Amino acid sequence: MSQIHDEFEAYLRSQTATPMQSFIRGQRAKLSQFSDRTRRFSVQISLSSAHLVVFDFVCFGIDARGQLSDDRYMVFFNQKSAPDDAIQLETLSDKAAKFVFDLDLVPPSVARLVFTVSIDGAGTMADLTPSTLQLGEDGVSSPQTLLEYRFSGADFAGESALMLAEIYRKDGEWRFWAQGQGFAGNLSALLKHFGGQEIEDAAQNTPPAPSMPPPAPVSPPAIASVVVTPPAPAVANAHNALQMAINDAPIGGTLQLVRGEFQGPIVVDKPLVLDGNGAVVWAQNGPVVRVTSAGVTLRELEIEATAPDAAPHGDVALWIDEGANTILQSVRVRGEIVGVAAAQGQWRLPPALNLGEFAARENNSFGFEIEVPHACDLKTNITGLSIVPPRVEAGRASVEVRAGGIGGDTFLAGHIELSSGGIGRTIPLSGRSTSGAPTAQGVCLWRVDSAQNGA
């Protein structure tokens, strides 16, 4: 009878199963949107390479400071489980590993689970052929693969290790991030990066030599370069970490942010370089980032006002005071901008675009309108999509999103960026390619005349 029940339950599950979603590098999502049946999940990593033979797989339990919470929360070949079996290395081979973790058993001191892989021996990650990381359910009958992140050596260069994915806390929820960040070092370097220490180093009682220097800025810092690691937003007062780093930074120095999320708001009130390396600074209400001093450079940074209210300036993502003359290099903004000449004027953009479901492996097209005060370049960070035209002049323009040849049951999430004068505005973009869905041809998503309050 039990077997019949299990088979019937499996059949019902097969009829209602959510299609596996394909993630791209940098994509994030709440775990709750994938499964409400379990708090126990798995991460399975499968690597392929004709030249690289053996890899080391590790799950690091990281605290709010970006450091290893406790040596017992480094789960790898020599320690296959954390306390209370909160994290377990269930299977392991030279090129594959499966971690299982129970979020109810992960202590509050652990803010992030970082899944890494490093090469055991010579070689670089550029030698990888198509490889995958899959997030799945565990601890339920008929478990389901929820999402897949695909990567290969084309995504990397001379790195010998990767931070592939994170499970992290934000706003009281656990989220998944397809991080895909290269790392210049081996397993030992990863351990030291997260504040751990090898047994042999501790026995010698000598300071370990740094194995991974901070990433070099585009131009040498004037005085000092400091690496800032994103804290866990769920930890009380964690959002002060970036502001505290700014307060402590020497005048004319450089703050190198590790790619991740930093909660604002922040004020930059001294000359320095804030090098984001793709990091996100966010706050619900603005101004999210305010620059009050001359001699400031913002580089490779994303700034977002995520849920602005009706308060004055609540929708301002970036505010630069008069006379600050800030240098902006590849800064992307979601929200209003004050004090930047290239961003002033009437911008009428869709608040978000949803392509809906469209035909997989077919040529689909969608249209929308914009009105911009300056000439802009347009691009998207979603593989398989293109924006036509790639540049528009000042005034009203029609824009086309083309989706061609995207595989079935692929979830898309990213943005369109309009850039001018070193700063870009982003339009969130989402959709799903589905086998059997109708082909979209010239579907109109948004018109300028439908904009409210100049949005």
Give residue-wise pLDDT tens across range 275-330: 988 888 988 888 999 999 999 999 989 998 887 877 888 889 999 999 888 998 88
Of 317, 339, 361, the domain-final residue: 339
In this structure, are 113 and 186 located in the same domain? yes
Local confidence band at 91 (pLDDT 50, 70, 90 cut-offs): very high
pLDDT of residue 212: 46
In this structure, are 307 and 446 located in the same domain? no
Q: Which residue has the higher pLDDT, 238 or 369?
A: 369
**What is the dihedral angle through the alpha carbons of 28, 30, 31, 37, rounded to the nearest 10 degrees?**
-150
In this structure, are 287 and 156 located in the same domain? no
- What letter represents residue 207's amino acid? P
- Note down the domain range covering 44: 2-8+17-204
CB under 8 Å to 138, separation ≥6 — which residues?
38, 40, 41, 42, 100
216 inside domain: no
220 inside domain: no
DSSP string, 360-404: TTSEEEEEEEEEESS-EEEEESSTTEEEESSEE-SEEEEEEEEEE
* CATH number of the CATH domain containing 139: 2.60.60.30
DSSP string, 273-291: EEEEEEEEEEESSS-SEEE
Ramachandran area for residue 121 (φ above 0: left; ψ -120 to 50: alpha; else beta) = left
Q: Among 56-70, 94-108, 404-418, name the one with the lowest average pLDDT.
A: 404-418
pLDDT of residue 197: 60
214 inside domain: no
Going by C-alpha positions, the residue among 355, 350, 354, 405 that lies closest to residue 378 is: 350
210 inside domain: no
* CATH number of the CATH domain containing 435: 2.60.40.10
Does residue 214 surpass a pLDDT of 90?
A: no
Of 156, 172, 204, the domain-final residue: 204
Q: Among 10-19, 88-97, 419-428, name the one with the lowest average pLDDT.
A: 10-19
Q: Is 282 exposed, middle or buried (0-12, 13-18, 19+ CB in 10 A)?
A: buried
Question: Distance between CA atoms of 33 and 8, rounded to whole angstroms?
Answer: 25
pLDDT of residue 404: 84
In this structure, are 419 and 315 located in the same domain? no
In this structure, are 400 and 267 located in the same domain? no
368 inside domain: yes
Local confidence band at 369 (pLDDT 50, 70, 90 cut-offs): very high
347 inside domain: no
- Beta-bridge partner residues of 61: 113
pLDDT of residue 234: 42
In this structure, are 358 and 330 located in the same domain? no
Of 204, 238, 257, the domain-final residue: 204
Quote the percentage of the chain above a pLDDT of 70.
85
Q: How many domains does the chain have?
A: 3
Going by C-alpha positions, the residue among 247, 426, 241 that lies closest to residue 343 is: 426
Local confidence band at 40 (pLDDT 50, 70, 90 cut-offs): very high
Question: Tell me: the pLDDT tens digits for 384-393?
Answer: 889 999 999 9
344 inside domain: no
The per-residue b/e assignment along 56-92, b for 16 or more CB within 10 angstroms, e otherwise, is bbbbbbbbbebebbeeebbbbeeeeebeeebbbbeee
In this structure, are 388 and 307 located in the same domain? no
In this structure, are 367 and 334 located in the same domain? no
The helix/strand count (H/E) of the chain reads as 4, 32
Local confidence band at 222 (pLDDT 50, 70, 90 cut-offs): very low
Does residue 29 surpass a pLDDT of 80?
A: yes
In this structure, are 44 and 92 located in the same domain? yes
In this structure, are 116 and 169 located in the same domain? yes
> What would the mean pLDDT of 333-341 be, rounded to a whole number?
88
In this structure, are 265 and 411 located in the same domain? no
In this structure, are 357 and 330 located in the same domain? no
Question: Distance between CA atoms of 134 and 266, rounded to whole angstroms?
Answer: 36
Across the chain, what does the average pLDDT equal?
Answer: 83
Question: Distance between CA atoms of 388 and 386, rounded to whole angstroms?
Answer: 7
The per-residue b/e assignment along 341-362, b for 16 or more CB within 10 angstroms, e otherwise, is ebbeeebbbbeebebeebbbeb
Quote the percentage of the chain above a pLDDT of 90.
43
Does residue 9 surpass a pLDDT of 70?
A: no
